[in-house]
Amino acid sequence: MVVTHTSTIASVTDATPAKAKKNRRKISRKNPIKAFSSGPSSSSTTHRENANNNDEEMELAASEPLSADAGISFDEEAKDGDDELMIDSEPSSLLPAGAAPVFPPVAPGAEKTLLKSETRRVPIPPHRMTPLKKDWLNIFGPLTEILGLQVRMNVQRRCVEIRTSKHTKDIGSLQKGADFIKAYALGFDVNDAIALLRLDDLYLDSFEIKDVKTLHGDHLSRAIGRIAGQDGKTKFTIENTTRTRIVLADTKIHIMGSFQNIKIARDAIVSLILGSPPGKVYAGLRTFIGPEGARASHDTRSRRSIRIPKICYAQSTIFHPSVQSDIDTPSLSLQGTMCGILGLLLHDPSIDAAPEICEGLSLLQHRGQDACGIITCGPKGRFYQCKANGMVRDIFDVNSISRLIGGMGVGHVRYPTAGSFNNAEAQPFYVNSPYGIVFAHNGNLINTSNLMQFMDQTAHRHINTASDSELLLNIFAYNLQQTGKFRINEEDIFTAIGGMMSQVKGAYACCAMLAGFGIIAFRDPNGIRPVGLATRKVGEHLDYIISSESVVADAGGFTDWEDVKPGQAVIITRNGISRRQIAPPATFAPDIFEYVYFARPDSVMDGISVYRSRMAMGDALADQVKTVLKAANIKVDVVIPVPDTSRVAALNLAQRLNLPYREGFIKNRYVGRTFIMPDSIVRGTTSKEIIQMAKDVGAKKVIMASCAPPIRYPNVYGIDMPSRKELVAYARDDAAVASAIGADLVIFQTLPDLLNSVRHLNPAIPNFDCSVFTGEYVTGGVDEAYMHHIEGLRADNLRDKALSLNLDALEGKGVAGKLSNGANNDHHEMKTGASTPVNGSDDTVGLHNTFNS
């Protein structure tokens, strides 16, 4: 809801009868065609003309014709073609100045008038068009499914057009939809703007710094700096304390919240503009909110709650692979999901691939937030790299991207698996022998001990880190070297990949790049981890992309997406694509958690739409919830998702149960990696906190519904899950799980329903990896000894992570330089100047170049 201030209506209601008649006569003489001769209703023309003069356009929809005694009449000639209301301005129908208009109530059984659908265009600033395209699915869904509007993105006019339809139930839906889009256009995050659809007491307020004080140059810059604070601390504190959202857009400031909270936030910002130090502003905020509110303001998890009597929480079984200790330290949480890989080969080697790779990695950021990297191949087969721990936006700036030369490259975002987190393990990896290979990997190997022994005793290759990705790269390099050729071709690469697949066990989706040759993609025989490719036509030539998810290809304008088949290898050069089925057929079993949680909803993987699969999960869960609630004789009032991945399923569940859907929790998107991303019913820690938060704000009962069955076993294919004893569902039934997390009831999706929700979208896939539910691992080779090994690696990871945090804390005192290992030094070196050749040679020796670089 947006509050606007206009003066157009006041000019009508304040008009005296004499002036009204005079204006009516004047308009009749001036525009005889538009003047009506139907008695009192002719005065409506006056107001329509006045409205036109004031550049105001009004589109109204009435639920029934209003009677003549209400002061409104319709001209007989205009019934068929004119839907505008005509207001009689005779003295008898005029209201006293300042009085609010009163309209008769609509009869309950009244039929709707057959008026034209209303349309609204919301302009989008040029700098918000690209984000709009990326977030379109999250914007389109609520407008169509919640408000029942028709929506269209008009790229030519740079606007979003919304229109009422027969599915629009509320007459205020059009305004709500326009407010939602306007908030996004102003710069608010889509997940914050969507609150305007859910809560009726939220508004937008905008003002400029010059409205408070005229400032120029450095004085203006310092005022903006005081509002933002160091690393956004001041702005975040105001937001968190006043329960608002703030956008700083140059000299304009936009605030979203309730009337009272907007006023408090605005007063604090005004004080900062006028020169007050942040400490004084903080003190003023503490005075307002009191001790209880002050404690809440420091809790980044309690961003917004809704007071309700009973709650049914519809939540995907969101796996949050955290390693939180009993002390709530956000930085100890291994935030992220899987890894994301990306390869790009442009038809023109003179065009740098790095900017597009960087943009693609940002679309895969949900698959890994711990580290990222890009390596490109430039002229004469030279490699250029930049990689480090951190998010894509933190590592890559204009300067670092400009140094990544070449029309071919590989990118990676990493979420650390067992025992892996440090800087030296940021991917892509590189080996110079043979031929110069760059390698990015998503997954986890389960026979690393045997492979390490082989590397040491037979291959005589040194592995510098504990990462199984570097190990897999060296296995591939060893097999490629066995060809013994001075120049290699596609057949040699297929042979090397075949030798590698015969040696390794586990899950792997990989993208490799050979210097001066091309890019390669291959997938494990079970197809556990996803990878695919697409093409983009540029004139008579083709660009090629390899990615973990199709969303990257869609955003880049690539078409003809195809998934790499299990056990298949694909080699791409500028001469074309070569495919080969390397490994013999095995059980095709993609990880079902990709669809439950990991993947973006706008991706399609192995022919299955992630969005549609989550809709089906919500429908199936609704049937389960109905059965359980009926047996327990419990009624719920509202369905609230735990953001973000549960939203789609929760909305379908609410619709199927005929219950209202509300946003009760909002993600904190303003502080680094501190998100409300619960480990759901994995460890149960965050679920317990969420349930307690709901009860603290008045919920009498909280029911946790999960779109997946209980997780009772660790994942060994690329997810750093807790040990078995830490899993809240391990050796517990549903009642015990509910008691452990503080819920009144826990409802799990059944495994057959989960499988059917995904399988019905592609019946060609008979099986899915469900090892976390069943303990059955499709690759075999997972026994008790291996489980102990994984749990030991995880314990080492915790210890090393804590040590790294201590070193970071000491860095400001000058101690870290003495204590930090070489990996940390590499991080700083890479961040500032690692965009340089890594093979140290001007010429590429020993390669069969299939194109001139």
Please, what's the b/e burial string for 808-825 (b: 16 or more CB within 10 A of its CB; e: otherwise)?
eeeeeeeebeeebeebbe
Distance CA 207, CA 228 (A): 16
CA distances from 28 to 9, 31, 242, 344, 601 (A): 21, 5, 54, 68, 58
Distance CA 416, CA 27 (A): 75
The DSSP result for 624-666, as a single string, is HHHHHHHHHT-----EEE-TTTHHHHHHHHHHHHT--B-----
Token digits for 520?
Answer: 């390669």
Secondary structure of 239-275 as H, E, C letters: HHHHCCEEEEECCEEEEEECHHHHHHHHHHHHHHHCC
Residue type, 44: S
Range 749-752, long-range pairs (CB < 8 A, 24+ positions):
749/317, 749/617, 749/620, 749/621, 749/624, 749/706, 749/707, 749/708, 749/709, 750/620, 750/624, 750/709, 751/709
- 3-state secondary structure at position 73: strand
Token digits for 308?
Answer: 């309700």
Q: What is the DSSP letter of 82?
A: -
Asked if 190 and 138 count as a contact pair (C-beta separation under 8 A), the reply is yes
- 3-state secondary structure at position 289: helix
Using only the alpha carbons of the chain, give its radius of gyration. Answer: 31
Asked if 511 and 440 count as a contact pair (C-beta separation under 8 A), the reply is yes
Q: Is 633 left (phi over 0), alpha (psi -120 to 50) or beta?
A: left
Terminal-to-terminal C-alpha distance of the chain: 56
CA 656 to chain centre: 25
339 in catalytic set: yes
Signed CA dihedral, 628, 634, 640, 642: sign only: negative
Distance CA 198, CA 164 (A): 18
Distance CA 314, CA 202 (A): 24
Secondary structure of 522-566 as H, E, C letters: EECCCCCCCCEEEEEEECCEEEEEEECCHHHHHHCCCEEEEECCC
- 3-state secondary structure at position 40: helix
Catalytic residue among 159, 312, 339, 358: 339
User: What are residue 766's phi and psi, to 5 degrees?
Assistant: -80, -30
Q: Residues with catalytic annotation?
A: 339
